[in-house]
Structure 1
């Protein structure tokens, strides 16, 4: 029949060919994985982090990856980053706010300055980058994926710091609020909340047999996650597969938060 809209195939729904994405905190761990995943789906991926040499290594693996040094806790760096992206490849189609730090201090010992610095990276940076991306979207479809954590959903005491939990919980609140404000602007905002995945930040915990047993005991599938198990969730939120999804928190945690 003539006049019927073409229904995209499942493969086409997840295809990011021709899209531009930014992944912060892309020099290692989940951020590097996210950059590889989006590039493999066809996107041009700006990989941002402080450790430029690691980003250069990532770019050697895939010509679609563009490395750029950026400290997301710095307002000047954030503005310069977005101006460069917009000037060279146009407005973003996908923003993955992944950069995150922790102070490593227990709540009774954490100084207010250290607490504020964690929030500068984990909460203020993502808000400002989202704001900058939305301002230049100009009616384009923009998907913002804020990488939170199960620590932002439920308490994981005695593990985890107060500033890290506050930042990740704040990111979820920010996600819902921005989704409500920007829904009519064709800007979707969702949060990805990973469970226990080994990263540089938590390597010591994974190397401790007692801590690893604690993770296994309290996760429904009785094991930590593999980074590849986040690929599908990221692509779902970043692509046309989730055009009617906004303001949501997608936990990929082996059942941790369902206990």
Structure 2
């Protein structure tokens, strides 16, 4: 096989959460451009532009995940080959004042729901003999601390544990599990910081490449982790952060 052919996602069926806007939508489009049949699920559904198939659903409603995957398989035309967990929420507050309801919301959305969805998809892949790829979306806080993000850091650090455990358990079944670790990108989750001139300059000073991430910066690494090009990689966190974690 030509090495470039190994990056093709032609014929692959991908389920991506949180694809109605922001980084999730850009990643979904990148997967389509690489040849995948992409079904996104989000609370708003999205408009289905750029060849992306959209559906409405809430991945935090754990009792609906079986029917959600059933619907995704119907729309994708078969068993899901890859799942990409791009949905996420955040709440900023000092640890001493962090509201427990917000803690539970963040952890349920960012950690519990991705695990439960991969559990459902992975079970089907293993039973049907499908060589799958699961890509979780971590963050800088998967490996280091940032102030006022206790729940977010807990959820993203926890994801790394999930990735490694699923990778170890599912490797012999041909199901790979990895994660992307975005640095700072301008999205709805970070807009508050970007509006603060001092905070924005402080962040910029930490990035060796001297710029914030662009959504399309995630597409190449995502296609790599989803495709046969990364067939001997599992249990890894690939940072896409302009060099932040190299410092």
Q: Following TM superposition, by how much is the alpha carbon of 1:76 offset from its aligned partner in structure 2, in angstroms? A: 2.8
Distance across 1 between alignment mates of 2:132 and 2:66: 18
Quick one: which of 150, 164, 180 aligns to 1:192? 180
TM-score under structure 2 normalisation? Answer: 0.95
Distance across 2 between alignment mates of 1:81 and 1:105: 33
Distance across 2 between alignment mates of 1:73 and 1:116: 11
Quick one: which of 33, 38, 47 aligns to 2:26? 33
| Equivalent residues, number | 244
Verify: 1:60 aligned to 2:53, yes or no.
no
Verify: 1:149 aligned to 2:139, yes or no.
yes
Distance across 2 between alignment mates of 1:70 and 1:104: 26
Q: Which moved more, 1:82-91 or 1:34-43?
A: 82-91
* Structure 2 residues without counterparts, runs of 5 or longer: none
Q: How does 1:66-77 map to 2 (within 5 A)?
A: 66-77=53-64
Distance across 2 between alignment mates of 1:106 and 1:70: 32
Distance across 1 between alignment mates of 2:107 and 2:5: 37
Q: Which moved more, 1:248-257 or 1:106-115?
A: 106-115
Distance across 1 between alignment mates of 2:233 and 2:32: 22
Residues 71-102 of structure 1: per-residue CA shift (max 9 Å, x gap): 11111332221111234422111110111001
Residues 38-82 of structure 1: per-residue CA shift (max 9 Å, x gap): 011111101111112xx12xx1332xx111111111113322211
Q: How does 1:99-248 map to 2 (within 5 A)?
A: 99-137=87-125, 138-157=128-147, 160-248=148-236
TM-score under structure 1 normalisation? Answer: 0.91
| 2:178/2:236 contact within 8 Å kept | yes
Superposition misfits of 4+ residues, deviation over 6 angstroms? none
Residues 204-255 of structure 1: per-residue CA shift (max 9 Å, x gap): 2112211111111111112211111111110110000000000000001111
Alignment match, 2:11: 18
Quick one: which of 223, 229, 239 aligns to 1:251? 239
Q: Following TM superposition, by how much is the alpha carbon of 1:10 offset from its aligned partner in structure 2, in angstroms? A: 2.8
| 1:215/1:223 contact within 8 Å kept | no
Q: Which has the higher contact order (CA 8 A, sep 6+)?
A: 2
Alignment match, 2:67: 80
Change (3 A) 1:27 1:170: same
Q: How does 1:86-97 map to 2 (within 5 A)?
A: 86-88=73-75, 89-97=77-85
Distance across 2 between alignment mates of 1:77 and 1:215: 39
| 2:27/2:216 contact within 8 Å kept | no
